[in-house]
């Protein structure tokens, strides 16, 4: 069985919550669980362990997926908050440590939305804390009501991985559920896709590994099933990630 370690989303103590009010909860969004589960492949949520205990757990994983969720804290990429977008520094530190292990161990890594942004920050990049504020010419990339039905066209970098993977796609469309985005690209990251209307970076791969072995996308392939007939094939990305795992 191939074991895919998935970074946790966090819910912190909230005494008004009906269950586990005083406790921190770790969770995996259900569409993500379904997307990552295949015959012979099982996603496993990564606990919030410390030190050797964490390393022993991570050693058992064959690859790593970083899921979406709350914003990164501006402090994680050397900035101060410009408004109400404070992010989650605790989760940042937890995920950046896992990212460091994953990259240095040579195991495949797939970053999705927040995970894509975590990867950019890990490699020294920065983020727009809020694109509407800092880059107002951008198109709508998030709507709380429409949510995973928001979509837009992307442009694949000519001759690169995603361009080859989706060569038969006439109008490549992806969904969009984010208000932050890549500002300064991290070191040794190669852009694979940009938003057609405003140039926002939508996908990249790390050049220190084979194309796609350490890769991130700003969109949510796990949500593609909502309007699947309108979007690119989400499973090609995940299958490429799995192709680097030899069992």
Catalytic positions, written as ranges: 113, 220, 222
Beta strand ranges found along the chain (DSSP E): 2-6, 9-11, 25-27, 41-45, 63-66, 109-112, 127-128, 151-156, 173-175, 181-182, 189-195, 201-206, 214-217
Give the list of residues 6+ apart from residue 104 with CB closer than 8 angstroms, or none.
none
| Tokens read off for 65 | 């997926």
Largest interatomic CA distance in the chain:
53
Instruction: Pick the closest to residue 218 from 136, 119, 106 (CA basis).
Output: 119
- Report the chain's C-alpha Rg in angstroms: 17
Give the list of residues 6+ apart from residue 78 with CB closer than 8 angstroms, or none.
126
Give the list of residues 6+ apart from residue 243 with CB closer than 8 angstroms, or none.
none
Q: Is there a contact between 163 and 156 (Cβ–Cβ < 8 Å)?
A: yes
Instruction: Pick the closest to residue 201 from 143, 126, 136 (CA basis).
Output: 126
């Amino acid at each position: 069985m191939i074991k895919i370690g998935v970074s946790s989303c966090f819910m912190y103590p909230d005494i008004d919550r009906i269950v586990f009010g005083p406790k921190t909860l770790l969770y995996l969004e259900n569409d993500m669980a379904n997307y990552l589960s295949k015959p012979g492949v099982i996603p496993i949520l990564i606990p919030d362990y410390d030190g050797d205990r964490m390393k022993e757990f991570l050693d058992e994983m064959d690859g790593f997926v970083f899921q979406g969720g709350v914003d990164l804290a501006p402090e994680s990429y050397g900035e101060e908050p410009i408004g109400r977008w404070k992010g989650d520094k605790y989760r940042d530190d937890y995920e950046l440590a896992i990212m460091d292990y994953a990259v240095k161990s040579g195991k495949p890594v797939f970053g999705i939305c927040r995970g894509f942004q975590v990867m950019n920050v890990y490699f020294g990049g920065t983020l727009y804390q809020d694109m509407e504020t800092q880059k107002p010419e951008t198109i709508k990339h998030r709507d709380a009501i429409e949510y995973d039905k928001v979509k837009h066209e992307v442009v694949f970098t000519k001759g690169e991985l995603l361009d080859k993977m989706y060569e038969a796609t006439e109008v490549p469309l992806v969904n969009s559920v984010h208000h932050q985005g890549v500002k300064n690209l991290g070191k040794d990251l190669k852009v694979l896709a940009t938003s057609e209307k405003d140039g926002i970076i939508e996908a990249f791969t790390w050049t220190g590994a084979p194309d796609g072995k350490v890769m991130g996308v700003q969109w949510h392939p796990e949500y593609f099933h909502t309007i699947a007939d309108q979007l690119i094939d989400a499973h090609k990305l995940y299958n490429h990630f799995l192709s680097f795992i030899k069992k």
